[in-house]
């Protein structure tokens, strides 16, 4: 499901000399931090102008906040860094396909490009169950690239839920 873009088939990240895979590795670092905190291991980073302006991981358990998804926390940080709620010219990298809440926030923030690692068969809203980020009825659409470092992104989630089941938690 990879989508080529940019000049000469290069992605915006590659134009600045850093590949989607390299940025996804930063998001995987955030996912590992979530795993270490006993949070569902999803990590997100936001890049603008070739530099990372936000980095976050799931913190729903830690903050007792159902909206504390990695993407939402990263968007809040990015909006603060940009001094604007409009995150135009940014790319969101996230290890798991965004859910409906996060996909709606992506549309609201006007993020033009989303790169995710693995699909979410139970809640994916950028390709799998819904296509919120590309719904022509909405005022903004985003280019979506899926499957970047898919195996690594899937493996950390499977390891987490396997551990949770073994502990009788989930």
From 30, 39, 71, 97, the catalytic residue:
71
Query: Could you give the 3-state DSSP secondary structure of residue 48?
Result: strand
71 catalytically annotated? yes
Q: Exposure string (b/e) for 29-46, b if CB count within 10 Å is 16 or more?
A: ebbebbbeeebbbbbbbb
Q: Using CA atoms, how far apart are residues 116 and 149, in angstroms rounded to an integer?
A: 9
Largest CA distance in the chain: 51
Residues with catalytic roles = 71
């Amino acid at each position: 499901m990879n989508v080529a873009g940019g000049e000469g088939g290069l992605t915006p990240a590659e134009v600045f000399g850093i590949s989607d895979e390299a940025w996804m590795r930063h998001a995987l670092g955030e996912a590992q931090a979530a795993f270490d905190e006993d949070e569902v291991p999803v990590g997100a980073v936001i890049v603008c102008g070739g530099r990372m302006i936000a980095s976050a991981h799931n913190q729903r358990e830690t903050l007792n906040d159902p909206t504390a998804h990695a993407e939402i926390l990263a968007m809040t940080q990015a909006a603060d860094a940009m001094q604007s709620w409009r995150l135009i010219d940014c790319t969101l990298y996230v290890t798991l396909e965004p859910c409906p809440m996060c996909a709606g926030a992506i549309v609201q923030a006007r993020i033009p490009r989303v790169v995710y690692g693995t699909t979410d068969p139970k809640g994916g809203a950028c390709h799998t169950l819904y296509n919120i980020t590309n719904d022509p009825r909405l005022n903004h659409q985003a280019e979506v690239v899926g499957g970047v470092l898919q195996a690594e992104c899937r493996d950390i989630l499977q390891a987490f839920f396997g551990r949770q089941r073994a502990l009788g938690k989930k």
